[in-house]
Structure 1
Amino acid sequence: MFNRRDMGLDAWRVDMPVETFLRIVKAFDLELYDISFQKTAICFYAHVWQRRNIVYALKEAELVATTGAIAYLLRSLRKPYRLLALLISMLLWYVCSQTVLTIDIRGESEKHRQLIASTLQELGYRTPFYDKDLAEMKAKLKKRLENDIAWLEAYQEGSRYVITYTPKEFAKLQVLKQDALIAQEDGVIAQFEVSHGSKCRRVNEFVHKGEKLVDNVLLDSKGQEAKTDVEGRVYAYVWKDVRVTMPSNRLPKSLQFFDLLMEARRIASLDFRIGDKISKENILQFSTDMGKIEMVVHYTLYKDITTPR
């Protein structure tokens, strides 16, 4: 929390009777700190902001010193070279904040990166330059490069413009299908990532392989069925037991355990797609029998169960 005392206090000294001093302080509602009564004087601290009020109320008061950040600032301003340094720093800060020093172009294809750079030069954006209308620059680029760039975005990071883009040859146009999403294996639904289609099941519901999870049929306002596009994935928790073995050897048991566990994880994740992961791992068996080391691991997997593998 902001404390005004940390900003700075004035140290005052005044020669007057204590009763008179207290009466004046109360009458003018002065906010004072650390009051000390000495034999011939009264010493106290007050906010710098109250200096005018104290001079008016306690005309005999003498300003002894100023403490805190404001005192440092006032002392600095009395020295010309510090004041000059402060002004130069403020000027440099203003100039830098209003100047674009670099333009960072990010995206696929060096050819298109050079094309954007040369187009910026033609449009008059040669660094360093005074900060301009970023939205206007983006609009001009999009118009000039509409036949080459599928997507373009521009934003500012300090004294730098950042331009990201996707060339048309890299842009993938996704064609929506009207096929329902069907469960490819048993599991408990964990999450729907569906942008089109009608959900048939709920989160935490157990489903079997072959059951419909997202339908391609919707009911319109008249209660009639209408075909709709389907897009998305359904993630579920599924279970899998993995059994791995290796010949018995002289390696420490901890290394044998580690090797088998890594192999089990590799097998469990063989058909993983983006977003799939191992949720839980439970080792059911780790034993040696007749010159063979065996491990059985029970896995709970978080998987997309609607995309054929």
Structure 2
Amino acid sequence: MNKKEIGLDRWQIQMQASSFLNLCKKQSIDVFDCTFKNSHISFYSPVFERMHIHHTFPDAVLLNTTGMLGYFFRSLKKPAFVISILLSIGLWMFLSQFVFSVEIHGEDSMCKKAIQDTMHSLGYNIPFSADESEIKKELKMRLSDKVAWLEVEKQGSSLHIAYTPKEHAQIKQTSRKQLYALKDGMIARFDIKHGEKIAKVNQIVHKGDLLVANSLSDSKGSLQELDVEGRVYAYTWKDVVVYAKPQDIKAFSYFEMLMEARREVTKDFHKEDEIIAENVLQFTKELGKIKMVIHYTMLQDITSP
């Protein structure tokens, strides 16, 4: 598409060609397709040069504007066109505040049904005005016993809710079985009812390390056997890699890849486990696919299988 099709101002002026060209050069005015006939000069210039030309050549006459810009400027002189534009903008701004569809992303059908019922009970019936942070807060509060992680994002007129269900750990019976770390991490807290703590908060532990023992030395140096009950929570880390085909990459695909990574990292979560931080380390094209590497920091029960 050339400049005339986009839109140029067409001017006419009566003056000497040499004077005209010297002034254009001196004032750095862009002109195109100059036509010189006797002392009459016709030329084209960009629309943004209009005020500059009026100031430099007070006698210049603007004949018309070509291309799409010309059509737009002529249309602005028609009241019906201006009103329709203003109404369209107003209608778009008004409707953009509302949600006309809700998409729920997750694998557990019971959780999905619970989210749908909760949205309905909270009065979010289509169409509705959406405050993403408020919806997220209300859903997390109502579904804290069912959902381990939840994200709410508005995309145009659609509200996308992604979640991972909680995997409820079985209540442990009191026993003499000592608690060992089942994965590497840094101790965050102890939820211990019975047993002797061996590790300390903020201590780095590795898989197989003894965390809570079933015996305690008394003042005489003899061992006293103890029951062991509770859990140990630690900060853990994991890198998750997800792929997508280049032709699948759209505006929402980045969000969908994150959802896939979050589902992967939370699939073995227990109750009270949570994602603390999420950092995208890499987003590149590799072997014909889009590769995303995400580093997660989590708070997990590292003593429950």
What is the CA deviation profile of residues 49-93 of structure 1, one whole-angstrom value per residue up to 9, with x for unaligned ones?
Answer: 222222232232221221133212101212233223322222232
The alignment yields a C-alpha RMSD, in angstroms, of 3.6
CA distance in 2, matches of 1:196, 1:227: 6
| 1:141 equivalent among 119, 139, 142 | 139
Counterparts in 2 of 1:167 and 1:24: CA distance versus 1, 3 Å: closer
CA distance in 2, matches of 1:13, 1:154: 59
- Check conservation: 1:14, 1:60, Cα contact below 8 A: yes
Please list every run of 5 or more consecutive structure 1 residues that lacks an aligned counterpart in the other structure: 180-194, 198-225, 233-309
Which is higher, the Rg of structure 1 or of structure 2?
A: 1
SS at the partner of 2:88? Answer: helix
SS at the partner of 1:137? Answer: helix
SS at the partner of 1:14? Answer: strand
SS at the partner of 1:136? Answer: helix
Cα offset for 1:170?
Answer: 8.0
CA distance in 2, matches of 1:5, 1:80: 26
- The residue aligned with 2:158 is 160
Letter in 1 for 2:45: A
- Check conservation: 2:184, 2:205, Cα contact below 8 A: no
- Check conservation: 1:150, 1:171, Cα contact below 8 A: no
Q: How many residues are paired up?
A: 185
Letter in 2 for 1:147: D
Q: How do 1:134-213 residues align onto structure 2 when only pairs under 5 Å count?
A: 134-168=132-166, 196=184
- Check conservation: 2:16, 2:39, Cα contact below 8 A: no
- The residue aligned with 1:51 is 50
CA distance in 2, matches of 1:34, 1:97: 45
Letter in 1 for 2:12: R
Cα offset for 1:105?
Answer: 2.3
Letter in 2 for 1:85: S
- The residue aligned with 2:121 is 122
Counterparts in 2 of 1:59 and 1:162: CA distance versus 1, 3 Å: closer
CA distance in 2, matches of 1:12, 1:32: 10
1:85 aligned onto 2:93: no
CA distance in 2, matches of 1:156, 1:177: 43
Q: How do 1:1-309 residues align onto structure 2 when only pairs under 5 Å count?
A: 7-132=6-131, 134-168=132-166, 196=184, 228-229=206-207
Range with greater deviation from structure 2 (21-30 or 61-70): 21-30
What is the CA deviation profile of residues 254-280 of structure 1, one whole-angstrom value per residue up to 9, with x for unaligned ones?
Answer: xxxxxxxxxxxxxxxxxxxxxxxxxxx
- Check conservation: 1:148, 1:167, Cα contact below 8 A: yes
Letter in 2 for 1:47: P
SS at the partner of 1:147? Answer: coil
Counterparts in 2 of 1:62 and 1:110: CA distance versus 1, 3 Å: same
- The residue aligned with 1:274 is none
Counterparts in 2 of 1:145 and 1:19: CA distance versus 1, 3 Å: closer
What is the CA deviation profile of residues 150-200 of structure 1, one whole-angstrom value per residue up to 9, with x for unaligned ones?
Answer: 33232222211122333335899xxx9879xxxxxxxxxxxxxxx849xxx
- Check conservation: 1:13, 1:61, Cα contact below 8 A: yes
SS at the partner of 1:31? Answer: coil
- Check conservation: 1:152, 1:163, Cα contact below 8 A: yes
SS at the partner of 1:164? Answer: strand
Letter in 1 for 2:148: A
Letter in 2 for 1:228: H
